[in-house]
Amino acid sequence: MTRRQLLSTLAAPAVLPAQSPKRRNVIFILVDDHRFDAMGFLKGQEWLETPNMDRMAREGLHFRNAFVTTALCSPSRASVLTGVYAHKHRIVDNNTPIPKGTTFFPSYLQKAGYKTGFFGKWHMGADSDAPQPGFTKWVSFRGQGNYLPARLTINVDGKSVPQKGYITDELTDYALDWLRTLPKDQPYFLYLSHKAVHAEFTPAERHKGKYKDKTFVFPKTMAATGEYAQHRPMWVQNQRNSWHGVEYPYHSDLDIAGYYKQYAETLLAVDDSIGRVFEELKQRGQLDSTLIVYMGDNGFAFGEHGLIDKRTAYEESMRVPMLARCPELFPGGRTVNEVVANLDIMPTVLDAAGVAAPKGLDGASFLPIAQGKPANWRKELLYEYYWERNFPQTPTIHALRSERFKFIRYHGIWDIDELYDLQEDPIEAKNLIFSPDHQKIAAQMRTRLFDILEQTGGNNMPLWPDRGGQQNRRHPTRTKAAEFPPQLERKER
């Protein structure tokens, strides 16, 4: 095997030919900022409840190592729809326009006779809610939209209509209403793209206060110093006292415990939505024949490493929930350990529909591993994030995440790299970049990272004109770590 062939197996699994001659219906549910462990059966917090997600895992598959290749809304969503890394599709931040000539995969389904419906947050191509090519039904809104009815309207097939109710419920209404218009022999792809659980978290009225008396367990790595903060990069330490840090979160005195509870209460309506989708498919006689895939567009930190929000290459940011259910395609009740990514959604949906995937994708159909078949699957995954002018505290990041180790490299700043043994240190508390026993691993992963960037065309930095102001304030009176609950106080206290 040549070096280039070897690199190809490192960068992405082989794209197998479409294996499902049946034109299978597919429902893809994408949720905003849903972190990987915020599901009841995983006990991210002991009291969290998600009965329909739990059912989906019980009757289908839980992909425990699912990731996004850029932990930011627009780039991640673009990778879902194109099957390639952000440096290829070039939608590298939330302000980037969609490059001319971009083809999203529902267009291939349309050509194969599918009806395709999009319902929810689009968030690409600036602040537009205009219908996009590839969809026969379109329901969306500008930017982040609103949880509750406000001045912003909903774009329904090019016409502005008032928002009537709570957005998670209303998007589900639109999606299921459209489904009911389709003959049962009409193949379809339904993309339900929830605003939830993006900040500012606003639970449905029926869920408000459900968790108010629960105790939030703070992450161990929230502490500023000590055994859970070994060799942390200086930019991470500095960011503690900034827009995305625990000492000055969103330039406010935000209570992170209460913030998480609002997040968890807001997620309950998403879980209700999944239950409604199940019930509608059961009524149509399509519950077991429809491929349902649930995924987050990126994770979210609630104090890990002293940070909130996403963007970073830490697990809480780049790792996401992924569930899939289709008894006709694969047996359920299993956990899949292979590394899968947002890049794999496009080829997987096309595979399930019996439509050949185009050449040049960075992702591949995960149906073979879902079915337990031998597959030449990836052993590691590239992660990339490009510095944003309006959130300048986080630098450009490239990372390589293997099944056991993660190497993180920062571009354009005077700081240290990071290396973590995820088997021994799953919370990424001990940076091994200076460990004599790990120098060979760090060097190998650094080399492979650049090899994969070269192979996939990622050596040229995608640059766009500056857009937006900068969130660059720090709290003027805070010069050292903020106070934390007793279990997180510095050891010397």
CA 274 to CA 309: how far, in whole Å?
Answer: 25
- Which residue in this structure is represented by tokens 């299993």? 334
- Position 404 pLDDT exceeds 70: yes
- Position 11 pLDDT exceeds 60: no
Query: Averaged over 482-487, what is the pLDDT?
Result: 44
Q: How confident is the model at residue 20 (pLDDT cuts 50, 70, 90)?
A: very low
Query: Averaged over 81-98, what is the pLDDT?
Result: 94
Q: Which residues pair with 400 in a beta bridge?
A: 382, 407
Q: What is the pLDDT of residue 126?
A: 67
Domain boundaries, the chain: 17-239+255-378
- Position 483 pLDDT exceeds 60: no
Give me the phi and psi of 341, to 5 degrees please.
-150, 170
- Position 3 pLDDT exceeds 50: no
Q: Of 435, 206, 18, whose CA–CA distance to 421 is shortest?
A: 435
Query: Averaged over 93-107, what is the pLDDT?
Result: 93
- Position 8 pLDDT exceeds 50: no
- Position 10 pLDDT exceeds 50: no
- Position 479 pLDDT exceeds 50: no
Burial class (CB in 10 A: 0-12, 13-18, 19+), 226: middle
- Which residue in this structure is represented by tokens 């459209």? 178
Q: What is the pLDDT of residue 375?
A: 85
CATH of 17-239+255-378, one of 3.20.20.140, 3.40.605.10, 3.40.720.10, 3.40.50.720: 3.40.720.10
Higher-pLDDT residue of 43 and 123 is 43
3-state SS assignment for residue 138: strand
Query: Averaged over 436-444, what is the pLDDT?
Result: 98
- Which residue in this structure is represented by tokens 């895992």? 57
Q: How confident is the model at residue 75 (pLDDT cuts 50, 70, 90)?
A: very high
Q: What is the pLDDT of residue 455?
A: 95
Upper half-sphere CA count for residue 398 (Cβ side, 13 Å): 21
Q: Of 66, 155, 76, whose CA–CA distance to 118 is shortest?
A: 155
Query: Averaged over 10-14, what is the pLDDT?
Result: 44
Task: Classify the phi-psi angles of 331: left when phi > 0, otherwise alpha if psi is within -120 to 50, otherwise beta.
Answer: beta
Query: Averaged over 319-330, what is the pLDDT?
Result: 97
**Token output for 6:** 């070897």
- Position 493 pLDDT exceeds 50: no
CA 433 to CA 436: how far, in whole Å?
Answer: 8
- Position 381 pLDDT exceeds 90: yes
303-315 tens-digit pLDDT = 999 999 999 999 9
**Residues of the chain with pLDDT > 70: what percent?**
91
Query: Averaged over 444-451, what is the pLDDT?
Result: 98
Q: What is the pLDDT of residue 319?
A: 98
Please report which helix (H) or strand (E) contains residue 348, including its range.
Answer: helix 345-353
Task: Round the average pLDDT of the chain to a whole number and report it.
Answer: 91
Q: What is the pLDDT of residue 174?
A: 98
Burial class (CB in 10 A: 0-12, 13-18, 19+), 422: middle
- Global confidence as pTM: 0.92
Query: Averaged over 146-170, what is the pLDDT?
Result: 95
245-269 tens-digit pLDDT = 999 999 999 999 999 999 999 999 9
- Position 206 pLDDT exceeds 60: yes
Q: What is the pLDDT of residue 218?
A: 98
Query: Averaged over 110-117, what is the pLDDT?
Result: 98
Query: Averaged over 331-346, what is the pLDDT?
Result: 97
Q: How confident is the model at residue 477 (pLDDT cuts 50, 70, 90)?
A: low
Q: Of 322, 276, 306, whose CA–CA distance to 76 is shortest?
A: 322
